[in-house]
Every structure is written in structure tokens, then in C-alpha cells.
Amino acid sequence: MARTLLVLGAGPLQIPALRWAREAGLTSVVTSADARARRLAGEFHPLSACDVDAHLALTRVLARDGALAGVLVSDERGLRLLATLAGALALPVPPRAALALALEPARAREHWRAHGLVTNGSDEPRERFDVGGFFRDGAFVPAGCVERRALPLASRVSEWGLCPARLAGEELAQAFVLAERAARTLGISQGPVQVTLAVGERGLALIELFPGFRDAVAAAHVTPLAYGKSPLQAWFGALAEAGGPFDELPLSPTTTAGWMAVLPERTGFFAGVDGAARARALPGVVDLWLEEPGREIDSLSEPAAVCGFVWARGDDRNELERRLRAARAALEVRVACRQVA
């Protein structure tokens, strides 16, 4: 029987994931308001995440014959929709109560503390670690760790990520153990998870958990550069019962790779980004994704203000940082005055 992967809200950054799903033997059913996701989808439905009734009807059909192997979400809108679907239908996803806790990080941290887990005490640590994994037959499979850092750039602070993270050896092993405990404590024992951690006075501390591969640029574009494979490939292989090369994420990276967010200097009407060809031609730069112009930027806070991402590789983290800085410096975000209705 063919195995189906339901992808809620796919965009252009998820295109590699759709290709990997097909390679693993899964049929991807994609719902998105972004028609660019149609390209590699096995079946495409142009649905907004707000159209709950249409998603319920579609998911009911997919779940009827037992072929629905898993559901992939990568943002909060998709997660809210998944929580609604999980409350109405029997799906191969975490319970609705667990998804609801994941949607409210403050409540999740209270829950963790009540069960003896250490949580982060600061509001916004400048260094965070996204620890990935997924559950296969009830067992937790580690699937990579990406370090995220805040980086001053001129008058703005950008964010960048790299892997492998500086966590290594026993500390990295502890991070995966904590990620599994955090998931199970919320009632999650199936599907993928991305757990965000910080290092505090008491060691590793929990910030939040997302039941999916939330950071699409890291999971689909950067991790494969460093490790030779994406955690998405490993999870898809498990869903399709493919085994072999899809079975586990390689433990040893071959190079250092990372990404950097492209942010504007001010609010206003996003008119585009210049310098893409210059940035792509720089040493170590692998590619970049830039958002289509035409929206209002109301705030410079992330993630709403992000206009794109650039990703690169280097021999070590210092070289990678230099290359990302150079690529970002080659880009000019054009922001016009706010449009008047």
C-alpha cells in the first residue's frame, strides 16, 4: 500500500523536502496558499491554513484507508491547524493536548518544571540550540543539532545558525536525552520534534518544543551540507519503512555550514533585494532564498521582518561567519515609504 505524507503549508523552502519524500517512496499531499509548492507535490490543494473545513474533509479521506503515514508542519499556523485536525480525527500525530502545550511555550515550561526538568530563565538568550529528532516505533532517533546566534550587523541584529553546533560529546548526548524527555513529558511519542535549548547556570535548559522540523532552511538546506543528509530524509525513510540509506542521520559532519537571515533596516513597503548575483558568486556561498516583494513590514522584530536567507559552507565556524557576513553585506534590502490606500 502506498504511504502518504500530508504537508500543511509548504512553501518554496520545503521544495527539497518534497523531493526527498518522493525518493523515499512517499506520496506527498500538499496544502498551501503558495502555488510554488505545487512543483514536486504528488497531490496539491490550494488551501489556506484558515480553511479548517476543507482540511478536515481532505484529511478524513486520507486517513480513511490507513495510508496516511505522517503529517509535516513547519510553522505555527500549520501547528494550530494540526491541533484542530487531531482533535477531530484519529491521525498519526501527537495528541491534541500535547500540540496545544507546544503552541504555548510558557505553559510548556511550567509543565516541564512541574516534572523536574530545567527551563531557561532569560527571555531571549543570544545563543540557542535546536535539537532535532523523531520517534520510530516508540524509540527516539536523534536527528541533528543546529546552533543559533544573534549577530550584530551594522545597525541591526541578525540571526544566523550553523552546524555542527559547539555542543559535542557528552554534552550533545545530554541534549538529545533532554529533548526526548521534554517530548515525552508533554505526551509526544510519535513524529518529529525540534527542541530549543539554552545553556544556563544549571546546564542545558529547555526553551520550547515544536512537533515538526520548524527551521526549514536549516533542516532542508544547511544540515545536508554539513552531514550529507537531512533529518527530513531520515524521518521520511522511517515513515516509508525504507531503511537503508534513509535509516539514520550520519553522526560526523564533513564540513561546517550555516545560514543567515536577511533583514531590512527600517519598516515600510518591501520592494525587493538587490545584489543576489554578487552574493551567490562569493566564496562558500551555496545559495539564497529571497521573498517576493510586495508586503508591508510593520515591525523589525523577527520572524516577521525576515526577507530571505543566505546559506554557505566553510572549513570552520570562523570562516563560515566571515562568508555569511560578506554575503549579507552584498545584499541591499529596498524598503519604500508605506503605501497609502
Is residue 123's pLDDT more than 90? no
- Count of Cβ atoms closer than 10 Å to residue 327 Cβ: 26
89-128 as b/e, with b when 16 or more CB fall inside 10 Å?
Answer: eebebbbbebbbbbbebeebbebbeeeebbbbeeeebeeb
User: What ranges make up the beta strands (E) of the chain?
Assistant: 3-8, 26-31, 43-45, 68-73, 127-136, 139-153, 156-163, 191-200, 203-210, 256-262, 268-274, 285-290, 296-297, 308-314, 332-336
Distances 71 to 91, 239, 304 between C-alpha atoms, Å:
8, 10, 25
* Average pLDDT of every residue of the chain: 87
Whether pLDDT at 203 is above 80 = yes
Percent of the chain with pLDDT over 70: 90
Q: Supply 175's cell numbers.
A: 541534549
Contact between residue 320 and residue 162 where contact means Cβ atoms under 8 Å apart: yes
Query: Could you read off the pLDDT of 156-184 as tens digits, one per residue?
Result: 556 899 999 988 889 999 999 999 999 99
The dihedral formed by the CA atoms of 238, 240, 245 and 247, expressed in degrees to the nearest 10: 10
Please give the CATH topology (third level) of the domain spanning 256-336.
D-amino Acid Aminotransferase; Chain A, domain 1 (3.30.470)
Preceding amide of 164 cis, omega within 30? yes
Residue range 223-248: average pLDDT?
78
Asked whether residue 340 carries a pLDDT value surpassing 50, the answer given is no
Domain ranges of the chain: 1-93, 104-254, 256-336
CA-only gyration radius of the chain, Å:
20
What are 17's three cell numbers? 523536502
The pLDDT of 47-65, averaged and rounded, is 90
Grid coordinates standing for 33?
A: 496558499
Q: Which is the CATH superfamily of the domain at 104-254?
A: ATP-grasp fold, B domain (3.30.470.20)
Query: What does the alpha-carbon distance between residue 38 and residue 36 come to, in Å, rounded to a whole number?
Result: 5
What values do phi and psi take at 156, rounded to 5?
-120, 160
Least confident window among 121-125, 203-207, 255-259, 315-319: 121-125
**Grid cell listed for 119:** 527551563
Task: Please indicate whether the domains covering 104-254 and 256-336 agree at the CATH topology level.
Answer: yes
Model pLDDT, residue 266: 83
pTM: 0.89
Residue range 97-119: average pLDDT? Answer: 95
Q: Check residues 331 and 36 and name the one with the higher pLDDT.
A: 331
Domain 1-93 is found in CATH 3.30.310.50:
no
